Structure 1
Amino acid sequence: MTSLPDNPPSPLREDDRDAAVRRLQEAYAAGHISHEELDERLHRALTAGTDSELGSVLASLPALPAENGDTTSTIAAAGGRITRGGAWRVPRILKVTSAFGRVHLDLSRAVIEHPVVDIELQLGTGRARITVPRDALVEYDELHTGWKDTRYKPRRSSRPDGPTIRISGAMGYGRLKIRHARR
């Protein structure tokens, strides 16, 4: 006769699966996992049958940010492109570091939960482009460029009612272009 284990695996609730999928998407949006890793982990999360299987999918992710709302994320690459676009969650402080390569941050459809977002750029060579929401106010006085000046044409409207995007840091060789979304 076969005996049953003392603690059988608990079945997975759909709420737990949905929360895990959201956590994976947030980790990807924050730059903690690659696109390929997101695909692999999403597949494992969607096919998991127990809490322990789902737990292994989330095990190596960074701890959830504190609830004080002052979240910081870092996106770093030695070379290549850094791109964020679509409906990604923008942290309160975003640090972008790249020795070589291009950076494109599109905040036009992003989820911006903070009235002020600080973007700190530390770029060696390569250009950067930041698309901000149509109603955003942009400040870049604290950005130091070594080779080319920043290109930015403020909106004609004198009453921006969106978030304030503050850009700081340093760029070696390359140019930063900032533009407002058209829609």
Structure 2
Amino acid sequence: MAPASASTAQVRDRDTAVQRLPEAYAEGQIPHEELDDRLHQVLTGKTHSELVSALASLPEKNAGTTSTIAAAGGRIRRRGAWRVPRILKVASAFGRVHLDLSRAVIENPVVDIELQLGTGRAKITVPRDAIVDVEDLHTGWKDTLYKTRRRSRPGGPRIRISGTMGFGRLKIRHARR
């Protein structure tokens, strides 16, 4: 059982890791002794990086998962406990986009988000320990608003944001908890 101080996201990540390791053992990807060691690491780990390192050498589950969210107009919104695919494509001609990954289930160490936005604002909230890369994002009118965290713990997911934004602004922020 997780410590009482663990957040809901930490408990969810731990549960995902506890489910993934026996699957890897059943598929012959790790021996029994290694299963025991990795489960112990997951159950006693205090940080997200300890969970990631327990799963690091395993092949990615559904590594090629790509999802597309598209709308001609209106609002695109994802928040709460939703499963983030390895590659997420978001397309909108007019309207707002809000992706909240702070409580989302992120199973991949790297997530690529490709934005194809005409007009309208976009806001992405990333996990507290995430590393964000926006080098491949091209903006037509306004610059991206993002300040790198001063103190970030290693081991968080890497969020790579690419694509094109016409008129509008992308605002990226780290979750507070």
Which bracket does the TM-score occupy, shorter chain normalised? 0.5 to 0.7
Give matches, 1:85-104, under 5 Å: 85-104=79-98
How many positions carry a matched residue from both structures? 118
Aligned twin of 2:124:
130
Distance 2:130 2:80 in 1: 17
Report the alpha carbon displacement of residue 69 of structure 1 after superposing the two structures with TM: 2.2
Aligned to 1:150: 144
Aligned counterparts of 1:144 and 1:133: Cα–Cα separation in 2: 23
d(CA) in 2 for partners of 1:83, 1:160: 28
Shift >6 Å, 4+ stretches: none
For residues 42-90 of structure 1, give each alpha carbon's deviation from its aligned partner in whole angstroms, at most 9, with x where no partner exists: xxxxxxxxxxxxxxxxxxxxxxxxx542200000000000000000000
CA distance in 1, matches of 2:62, 2:175: 29
Deviation at residue 158 of structure 1 after TM alignment: 4.7
Contact kept in structure 1, 2:129 and 2:152, CA below 8 Å: no
**119, 124, 143: which one pairs with 2:113?**
119
Deviation per residue, 1:97-116 (Å, 9 max, x gap): 00000000000000000000
Gaps of 5+ in 2: 1-60
| Structure index of larger Rg | 1
Residues in 2 aligned to 1:103 and 1:158: alpha-carbon distance in whole angstroms:
26
| Aligned mates of 2:138, 2:167 — CA distance in 1 | 11
TM score, norm. by length of structure 2? 0.65
- TM-score in terms of structure 1 length: 0.63
Q: Percent identity?
A: 83
Q: CA RMSD in A?
A: 1.4
**C-alpha separation in 1, matches of 2:152 and 2:82:** 28
- Paired position in structure 2 for 1:53: none
